[in-house]
Amino acid sequence: MNSKILDKKELRNIPEEFLNKIIEESKKENQEIYLKLEKKDFNEKSKEFKEYKKVIRKKLRTLYGVFQNQQLNETKRKKYLEILRKETKEEKNILEKILKSHLSTKERITYFNRVYSKIIEICGKPKKIADLACGFNPFSYFYWNLNLEYLASDISEIDLDFIQKFFASQNIKGNTTSGDLTNENFQSKIIKKIRDYDTCLLFKALDSLEYLKKGSSTKLLLKIPCKNIIISFPSKTISGKNVIKGKRHWFLEALKQKNSEGWEIHEFEIGPEIYYLLKKPQTVLSNNSKKT
C-alpha cells in the first residue's frame, strides 16, 4: 500500500514507522474514502485511490516537511558534504541548497537572521542548543554567528546522519540522537541528555507529535529542562492562507501552566511562522505574558 501511494524515490528518506503511523491516522480521519477504497481492492485507477493519495501526501508535506521534487538523494548529500569539507567559497551556496530542500527551512531561509536575533534579544546568547524534531534546521547553524554546542534530534536517522557529517565537516561541537518523540521512554532519554542545555528549539514540531499521539507534545513540553524554549507553528498554510488560531487548545493549556509557574511567554510572528518563546524566571517569579 505504501509503495502504491508514494514511489520509491519519495519514500527513500521517510522512516517507515512514521509513514505507517500517518497512514493509520489518515485511515481514521478519512474513513469513508478508505472503506470505499478497500471495497475496490485499492485499485490504483479509482477516484478514491487518487483522493487518498492526495490526503497522505499533504500530511507528509506538513508533518515531515517532505518536498518531493527537491529531496536530496544519497549522491547529492555525499557531493555536498565533500564540498563542505573543503572549505571553499561554495559553502554558503551549498548550505542554502540544503536548507531549501526541506519545506520548513526553505520557508524560513530569508528570516533566520531575524528569528535568531530576536531570540538573542530576549534570552541572551545561547551556548547549548537542543533542536528537537529538527528536520534540516541544524544546517542554519551559521546564522547564529555563535560558537554553539548543538544537539539535533529527529525520527529520521538518514537526516541525522547527514547532519552529524555536516557537524564534523565544520568542526561543530554537535551531536545527534534519533528517536520517536511521542514515545515516553525516548522523551525521558532526550530530557536526560539536554539537562545542561540552555535553549531548546521546537520549530514546527509539536503539531506533528500531537497528530501522531495526542497529549505527547504537552508531556514533552512540560518536561523540557532548558531555561529557554522556543516553539513555532506555521501561521499560514502552504497556499498562503492564514491558519485559524485557537485550534490548539492543548498548547494554550500548556502555556497557561508554564505561565502559572512563572515563565515569561513572548509571542512574535516572523515570516510565515508564529513563535512562542518561553523563558524561565531566574530569581523573581513574574506572571508576565508579553507580546514583543
Ligand X SMILES: C[S@@+](CC[C@H](N)C(=O)[O-])C[C@H]1O[C@@H](n2cnc3c(N)ncnc32)[C@H](O)[C@@H]1O
Positions in the binding site for ligand X (CB under 6 A): 18, 63-65, 104-105, 133-135, 137, 154-156, 180-182, 203-205, 208-209, 212
Q: Is the dihedral of CA 24, 11, 159, 125 positive or negative?
A: negative
Length of the chain: 292
Element spanning 267, H or E: strand 264-270
Query: At closest approach, how far in Å is the CB of 105 from ligand X?
Result: 5
Query: At closest approach, how far in Å is the CB of 272 from ligand X?
Result: 11
Nearest residue to ligand X, by Cβ distance, number only: 135
Closest to 208 in 3D by CA, of 138, 132, 130: 132
**Residue among 198 and 210 whose Cβ is closer to ligand X:** 210
**Residue among 37 and 99 whose Cβ is closer to ligand X:** 99
Determine the Cα–Cα distance for residues 51 and 30; give it in Å rounded to an integer.
10
Q: Which residues contact 59 (CB under 8 A, 6 or more apart)?
A: 22, 25, 26, 211
**Residue among 156 and 176 whose Cβ is closer to ligand X:** 156
Determine the Cα–Cα distance for residues 283 and 233; give it in Å rounded to an integer.
30
> Which residues, listed in sequence order, are joined to residue 174 by a DSSP beta bridge?
150
Determine the Cα–Cα distance for residues 168 and 225; give it in Å rounded to an integer.
27
**Residue among 42 and 111 whose Cβ is closer to ligand X:** 111
Closest to 133 in 3D by CA, of 27, 22, 240, 233: 233
Angle CA 90–104–229, to nearest 5: 105
Query: At closest approach, how far in Å is the CB of 106 from ligand X?
Result: 9
Determine the Cα–Cα distance for residues 192 and 195; give it in Å rounded to an integer.
5
Determine the Cα–Cα distance for residues 154 and 158; give it in Å rounded to an integer.
10
Determine the Cα–Cα distance for residues 259 and 238; give it in Å rounded to an integer.
31
**Residue among 63 and 172 whose Cβ is closer to ligand X:** 63
Query: At closest approach, how far in Å is the CB of 16 from ligand X?
Result: 12
Query: At closest approach, how far in Å is the CB of 286 from ligand X?
Result: 29
**Residue among 25 and 149 whose Cβ is closer to ligand X:** 25
Query: At closest approach, how far in Å is the CB of 62 from ligand X?
Result: 7
Query: At closest approach, how far in Å is the CB of 31 from ligand X?
Result: 23
**Residue among 33 and 200 whose Cβ is closer to ligand X:** 200
